[in-house]
Amino acid sequence: MVKKDPLKIGSYEIFWLDGGVFHLDGGGVFGVVPKVLWEKKYPPFTGNNVLMEASPILLKGEDKNILIDTGLGNKLTEKQKKIYGILQPWDIHQSLEQIGLNAEKIDYVILTHCDYDHVGGLVQYDKNGELEPTFPNAKIFLQRKEWEDVKNPNKRAAHSFWEINFKGVEESGNLELIDGNSELLKGVFVEYTGGHNRGHQIVKIISGNEVAFHLGDILPSHAHFNPLWVAAYDSYPLDVIELKEKYLSEIVEKQCWVLFYHDPHIMACKFNEKGDTLFSKERERRN
Ligand SMILES: [Zn+2]
């Protein structure tokens, strides 16, 4: 269910779409943090597993529709659905319809990085089981470094970059590779971070008197506020710690919004200096 009342950041409206719900081992999501600590902030779903959203963030404004990441997609095999414990399927077309849009109307897709849970919806199976670009008119923005790693992954990254998720993407001519930081549209910035992946980037929105950050997998949930609580999935954990210290001090000091993709409880919030969530916009629980 898409919340129809968007979060407003100046002239932008922000919606969260249904990109799938899955679960992962809490040990992966919280790394070296013992379960007795993380389970208080992020109660497990079953056993040691925790719920994860893969909820694309839609920005509407300046006559453009911008999607941040694309959800799990419709290409998972039965075996993969079991492995990732899919609880809710990717339902992005219906989500778009609910807010009066469709996939053709997406102008930009920003990819924070290229792991399967963020790019699964970039290419889809059509009715006849053929692969096609999901957002045929969208320019796709990602860091050049990330794309280089997709083409030539290290041994670890190879498990989360799946060839099927990029079929035809280069040939479409819609790929826009970015080196470092860039303003894509008035007040919508991408900033290169690395950390989680070598080519990871984040999104910053400045409009009116508000600032919002989407830190991607640098801050997967509100429970990851402590800079030392980094995921075992991070390729460069010391960099993630430094990035969190830098961004979270700005976020607390300037009372910026933080937008989440994976958090199953909260779509957006502000933080005080202790990491308590303020003004949080909660997800509607689905059964
Ligand atoms: Zn992720």
pLDDT score recorded for residue 287: 46
124 in a domain, yes or no?
yes
- Domain count across the chain: 1
Q: Is the pLDDT of residue 48 over 60?
A: yes
218 in a domain, yes or no?
no
Q: Is the pLDDT of residue 1 over 70?
A: no
Please identify every residue whose CB atom is under 5 Å from ligand 1, which is an ion. 117, 217
> Where residue 283 falls among pLDDT bands split at 50, 70, 90?
confident
pLDDT score recorded for residue 156: 85
Using alpha carbons, list the distances in angstroms from residue 93 to 97, 224, 279.
6, 30, 29
Range(s) of the domain holding residue 127: 7-212
pLDDT score recorded for residue 264: 94
Q: Cα Rg for the chain, rounded, in angstroms? A: 17
> What is the CA(117)–ligand 1 centre distance, in A?
6
106 in a domain, yes or no?
yes
Q: Which of 2-16, 118-132, 199-213, 233-247 has the lowest mean pLDDT?
A: 2-16
Percent with pLDDT over 90 in the chain:
92
> What is the CA(118)–ligand 1 centre distance, in A?
6
Average pLDDT over residues 86-101: 96
208 in a domain, yes or no?
yes
109 in a domain, yes or no?
yes
Average pLDDT over residues 123-137: 96
Q: Which of 54-68, 71-85, 149-163 has the lowest mean pLDDT?
A: 149-163
Whichever domain contains 181, its CATH number is: 3.60.15.10
Q: Is the pLDDT of residue 157 over 90?
A: no
pTM of the model as a whole: 0.96
User: Hey, is 139 helix, strand or coil?
Assistant: strand
203 in a domain, yes or no?
yes
> What is the CA(52)–ligand 1 centre distance, in A?
9
> What is the CA(1)–ligand 1 centre distance, in A?
21
180-224 residue pLDDT tens: 999 999 999 999 999 999 999 999 999 999 999 999 999 999 999
Nearest to 204 by CA among 246, 149, 145, 157: 246
> Where residue 46 falls among pLDDT bands split at 50, 70, 90?
confident
> What is the CA(144)–ligand 1 centre distance, in A?
19
Q: What is the mean pLDDT of the chain?
A: 95
276 in a domain, yes or no?
no
> What is the CA(54)–ligand 1 centre distance, in A?
8
Specify which residues 123 forms β-bridges with: 133
User: How does 87-104 read in b/e, with b if 16+ C-beta sit within 10 Å?
Assistant: bbbbbbbebbebbebebe
146 in a domain, yes or no?
yes
Judge contact between 28 and 232, C-beta under 8 A: yes
């898409």: which residue's tokens? Answer: 2
> Where residue 5 falls among pLDDT bands split at 50, 70, 90?
confident
> What is the CA(66)–ligand 1 centre distance, in A?
19
64-68/108-110 β-pairing? parallel
